[in-house]
Structure 1
């Protein structure tokens, strides 16, 4: 069985190389769309801030830093730890 599976690409490439290339390209386009990792990548990108703003002080000139860095981050990524 394994011998047949390894021989199939060679035989298919020898007979119909255009069909083999088009099926590989089709898989390359379809697989990222149906991959379960696409969902998690989108969730991580949504929760990650594009930039980290620096809050200004009361006089508007110098930056003040919060007591915890949590206030500089976006939404929580707790769902990622629970996977």
Structure 2
């Protein structure tokens, strides 16, 4: 009838009541989950995200075939250094 609520509404209501109970009983746990959620969500909606994405180049490594002409060492020889002081 029109006065009865559906099963989905009853489930949502019971879930909301469980969340409210959890908030009342374990406030520290609820606060930690809230902070973690904000840490995950806020960077995606931050105005700085656009600036960071514009400043960061999208240079992905390309896979290539090694024909044997690729140098495996540094381009210039390493400069000699003095021995570290051993005390």
TM range (shorter): 0.3 to 0.5
Task: For CA contacts below 8 A with separation 6 or more, give which structure has more relative contact order.
Answer: 1
Q: Which has the higher helix share?
A: 1
TM-score (norm 1): 0.39
TM-score (norm 2): 0.38
**Bigger radius of gyration among the two:** 2
